[in-house]
Structure 1
Amino acid sequence: MNEMSRRIWWQVYPLGFCGAPVRPQSDSERRCVPRLDRLVNWLDYMEGMGCDGLLLGPIFTSETHGYDTVDFYTIDPRLGDDQTFGRLVTACHERGIALMLDGVFNHVGRAFPEFQRELKRAQDEMEAGKPVGHDGDDMFSFSLAEDGTLDYEKFEGHAILPTFNHDAPRVADLVTDVMAHWMNRGVDAWRLDAAMTVPTTFWAKVLPRVRREVPNAWFMGEAIHGDFPQFVRDSTIDTVTQYELWKAIWSSLKDGNFFELDWCLKRHDTFLETFTPQTFIGNHDVTRIASQIQDEEKLALAAVILFTVGGTPSIYYGDERAMKGEKTDGVGGDDIVRPEYPDTPESLPDDGEWMYRLTRQLAGLRSARPWMIDATTEPTLLENRHYAYDVKARDGSAKLHVDMNLDETPHADIYEGGSAEPLLHIEHRAN
């Protein structure tokens, strides 16, 4: 099992966290400012809550939000430059913190140079009355729309996000080189954005090449739904995002329906037979858990579930402070869940300190029991508002018992082995 899967990750969206203009309107807003340095001030904070891995959202030069890349080999000037990045790598590794980058390799921004070159050629072909298409090594695919205008493959219909032609050898060469380049600069792992929309044959071709150059490389693919085990086997990706569990956690607590969670944990156990899922209760793409659940007592139980089931858990910045934010559709709809943090932890308001302490407590419990990474769960009591389960080591050498009850004041008790006294009593008002 790769050592990266044993980490507890803190996920940060750098452009928002560091206060960079997400949709710059002028050259001044695109100038080089070493904002990534601000993250160095937060490494002790993340370690203090029990995280030993830093998962960063996009940091490469892009047009707006980072998922519209223009240059995979340069740090976005709104965040700094190569030297700024080097300082962050050094600071992480001095503390034993692993660093994961967000690789957006399904699509790019319209200003990506090769897209513009191929777009110009396709326009010239169309105007000359020649067939519009692509040869085997073109990085993008063009066609004529029904109205006779030039069209191209795009991510989820967004014109600003042209999709790579993943059959092209040049695309495989580029992605391989980009990942190896940054891993040789100190990156430890990759999150692969929109991984399940990319053909598994592409990943199966690229990832082994990266691993030959960087043997301990670890890859986490974004996957919303589907046959996760088959995708992992076919793609050679190490893990995928467990969106099914994310939904079941907040939905079962919000609606008082632990049957949904129990059903999902049974599927989760089957996933663990093939890979170690990446688990979470929030990220940069979804409404915050504190806004989904509202009730802070129930919010505490969401953290209990996250840290007591098998998987590789991550905490999205702000969730450790019980911050709220509702994602909406349209331009700017993600901004509220991708906020700026102050320069230092000392400037944070006291609101949510209880959640930070709880996160530290639960992360500590998990870190002291490395067997939990692939532990299975077995229900011992299942009712709509009362749920208890055993968490068992694969070899049967250890066990925790978790008992959650939503009635009266929602609370949870965690027992070790067959002890009659709880190891932890989790109740928001008691924190």
Structure 2
Amino acid sequence: MPAWPEHVIWWHVYPLGFVGAPIRDGVDPDADPVHRLDRLDPWLDHVIELGLNGLLLGPVFASETHGYDTVDHLRIDPRLGDTADLDRLVSAARGRGIRVLLDGVFNHVGRGHPAFRDLREDGPSLFRGRWVDGRFEPEVFEGHDALVALDHASADVVDLVVEVMCHWLDHGIDGWRLDAAYAVPSSFWAQVLPRVRERFPDAWFLGEAIHGDGPQIVRESTIDSLTQYELWQGIWHGMSDGNLFELSHAIERDDELLSTYAPQTFVGNHDVSRIASAVGADLVPHALAVLFTVAGTPSVYAGDEFGWTGVKEERLGGDDAVRPEFPARPDEVDPDEGILRVHRELIALRRRKPWLWRAHTDVIEVTNTAIALRTAVGDDAVVVALNIGDEPVSLPVADGRQLVTGEGAPADGRIELGPRGWAVLEA
């Protein structure tokens, strides 16, 4: 694996929503380009000011609705612009030292994909399914009729994905997020990724894994990292339900992954309710304290740093609240200054201590409503103390002596926290 992911922290953007493109009604994937992608340009300095150095882009390829029903992997979605627009964005990001990751939807395509639209019973097929009375009945992704499953046993699909990956890596991106990687056989990635790495040895591959045996997937697929949904769930469930034993268990499970890979960690993304809605604004710092002090490659979902809210719902349009249009410039946002400040302070801590990327975390003490964590390498340590309850608590902080952010002052190896109090210390 390349060395740079050890130092990257991503700003995760859903481009179609960000630029205010139409998502459902009247979308024509063959329309003339509308050059909206440059709306990201004024936000690149915001990425740097936060302390981040990666831009994780959601779908940018031609599709019929939300971007995950791709109809052409080699063409930028005309709602965003064209290839020249992406090239300019990548160049502007690189000029600031920002890495760029693209979202590769290689498990399925939209029904409007030319290879599916022109499918013949006597011709080659890229898709899983069967012919019945002259009609092809495709397999679809998780019951979504518009998402036609690719046939990952087909050498043609292997060649297609290698071609697409290399094409855009040639345009200067740094790697790929592999959408729905958990639904794709690991043997498929094991055929694709080594071929891509032959040409682009510094490319990094992040697989979306909602469930499954992460270490086994990584070993068999050669994917570099997987999304850490178990930690995300432990953070927001533990805090919203008042059961920090769930968080403690998730952190211990996170540690178990490190002998195989460093997971990609997050408290928000384009598919889940925003963290401020999930746990409440007063507990967002607590969630961030965990995110930025345990092992993994962290990401910030764009807008979370401002304390934005939004609840995902299981209905048509249920993602809209967490995929909003952004204003033209960062200075047009009225942020929650406290949440923005905590982001900056904890990202700065993470920058000073890159060893956190693959360091083990010990749970010093845990109750339903309070937890103390210590992450260390040698004599360098970071200690987190969290109180999500309504009563003051006293927690051990081991060798945590200097307050980095939060509240309180350690004394005799302990720290006193008020209701909903929190502290991050270093040795």
Q: TM-score, normalised by structure 2?
A: 0.91
Q: 1:343 aligns with which of 328, 331, 342?
A: 328
Report the counterpart of residue 368 of structure 2 in structure 1: 384
Pick one of 338, 352, 355 that aligns with 1:371: 355
Identify which of 404, 407, 413 aligns with 2:386: 404
Aligned-residue offset at 1:409: 7.3
Corresponding residue for residue 413 of structure 2: none
Cα shift at 1:74? 0.9
The superposition leaves residues 28-87 of structure 1 with CA deviations (integer Å, 9 ceiling, x where unpaired) of 994411111010110011111111000000001111111011111111111011111111
Determine if contact 1:9/1:315 at 8 Å carries over to the other structure.
Answer: yes
Task: Show the 5 A alignment for 1:202-217.
Answer: 202-217=188-203
Residue 262 (structure 1) aligned with residue 248 (structure 2)? yes
Superposition pairs of residues 119-198 of structure 1, within 5 angstroms: 121-122=120-121, 138-144=125-131, 150-198=136-184
Superimposed CA distance per residue, residues 207-234 of structure 1 (whole angstroms, 9 cap, x where no aligned partner) = 0000001011100000011110000000
> How far, CA to CA, are the matches of 1:139 and 1:339 in structure 2?
34
**CA displacement at 1:329 relative to structure 2:** 1.6
Q: Report if the CA contact (8 A) 1:32-1:78 is conserved.
A: yes
CA distance in 2, matches of 1:325, 1:413: 33
Query: Which residue of 2 is the match for residue 91 of structure 1?
Result: 92
Kept in 1, the 8 Å contact 2:382–2:400? The answer is no
How far does the alpha carbon of each residue in 1:105-151 deviate from its partner, in whole angstroms, 9 at most, with x for none? 00001111111121xx23xx7xxxxxxxxx8x521133256x99641
Secondary structure of 2:146's aligned partner: coil
Maintained 8 Å contact 2:372/2:395: no
Q: Which runs of 4+ in 1 moved over 6 A?
A: 409-415, 427-431
Structure 2: where are the runs of 5+ without partners? 408-417
Does the 8 A contact of 1:104 with 1:193 survive in 2? yes
The residue aligned with 2:294 is 309
How is 1:218-297 mapped onto 2 (pairs within 5 angstroms)?
Answer: 218-294=204-280, 296-297=281-282
Larger mean CA deviation between 257-266 and 201-210 belongs to: 257-266
Q: Which amino acid aligns with 1:369?
A: K
Q: Could you tell me which residue of structure 2 aligns to residue 128 of structure 1?
A: none
Q: Structure 2: how far apart are the matches of 1:247 and 1:92?
A: 31
Q: 1:84 to 1:411 in 2, by over 3 A?
A: farther
Match of 1:73 in 2: 74
**Aligned partners of 2:404, 2:373: CA distance in 1, in Å?**
15
Residue 411 of structure 2 corresponds to none
Q: Between Structure 1 and Structure 2, how many residues are aligned?
A: 411
| 2:43 aligned with 1:42 | yes
**What is the TM-score when the length of structure 1 is the normalising length?**
0.90
Q: Contact 2:268/2:300 (CA < 8 Å) preserved in 1? A: yes
1:155-192 Cα distance to aligned partner (Å, 9 max, x none): 11222111100111111001001101101100001100
Q: Distance in 2 between matches of 1:42 and 1:410?
A: 40
Letter in 1 for 2:272: V
Q: Which amino acid aligns with 2:405?
A: L
Distance 1:305 1:223 in 2: 20
Percent identity over paired residues: 48
Unpaired runs of 5+ residues, structure 1, are: 126-134
Matches within 5 A, 1:10-49: 10-25=11-26, 30-49=31-50
Query: Which protein has the bigger helix share?
Result: 1
Tell whether the 8 Å contact from 1:220 to 1:238 is kept in structure 2 after alignment: yes
Structure with greater strand share of residues: 2
